[in-house]
């Protein structure tokens, strides 16, 4: 590795650094890699690029290959947990009740509503389903 990258991160002349930084910011803005600031920034921008790095941290190939080895098992575990509504339901109900996170609560209510409707969604269609929106916000 030392032959390929004698120094990492590389030292750049100021002009090259400025060009690289400007190009990265332009790429982020052009491709929607943005966030909306909580408070208006200088110049009153409506969006800013997300935090990015010019020179990512090096990651050992052996660790990458090890992570690929467990990916399938992890995906199966995640899918089984997400689809076990009888087990996950009480946990989610308790979580959104005590945490008070409206977004999580509404997402879980949407999920349970859609699960309760089951195959009716394909019969009714999403437009008709939106008429039942009041079920999501009623206690």
Strand partners, 35: 48
> How far apart are the C-alpha atoms of 110 and 43, rounded to whole Å?
39
Does the pTM surpass 0.85? The reply is no
pLDDT above 90 for 19: yes
In sequence order, what E strands does 2-138 have? 34-35, 48-49
User: How many CB atoms lie under 10 A from the CB of residue 108?
Assistant: 19
Q: What percentage of the chain reaches a pLDDT higher than 90?
A: 27
Q: Distance of alpha carbon 133 from its chain centroid, rounded?
A: 25
pLDDT surpassing 80 at residue 139: no
d(CA 111, CA 85): 9
| pLDDT, average across residues 58-75 | 91
Stretch 48-69: mean pLDDT: 89
- Model confidence pLDDT, tens digit, residues 27-39: 999 999 988 877 7
- Whether the pLDDT of residue 130 is over 60: the answer is no
Question: In the chain, what is the straight-line distance between the N-terminal and C-terminal CA atoms, in Å?
Answer: 60
The yes-or-no verdict on residue 138 having pLDDT over 50 is no
Residue range 60-66: mean pLDDT, rounded: 92
Q: Structure tokens of 27? A: 């790429």
pLDDT at residue 21, rounded to an integer = 93
pLDDT tens digits for range 45-56? 778 888 899 888
């Amino acid at each position: 590795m030392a032959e390929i990258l004698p120094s990492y991160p590389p030292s750049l002349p100021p002009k090259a650094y400025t060009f690289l930084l400007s190009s990265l910011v332009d790429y982020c803005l052009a491709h929607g890699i943005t966030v909306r600031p909580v408070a208006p920034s200088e110049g009153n921008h409506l969006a800013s690029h997300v935090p990015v790095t010019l020179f990512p941290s090096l990651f050992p190939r052996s660790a990458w290959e090890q992570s690929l080895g467990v990916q399938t098992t992890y995906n199966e575990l995640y899918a089984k947990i997400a689809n076990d509504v009888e087990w996950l339901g009480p946990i989610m109900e308790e979580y959104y009740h005590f945490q008070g996170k409206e977004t999580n609560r509404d997402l879980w209510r949407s999920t349970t509503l859609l699960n309760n409707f089951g195959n009716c969604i394909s019969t009714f269609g999403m437009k008709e389903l939106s008429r039942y929106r009041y079920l999501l916000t009623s206690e």
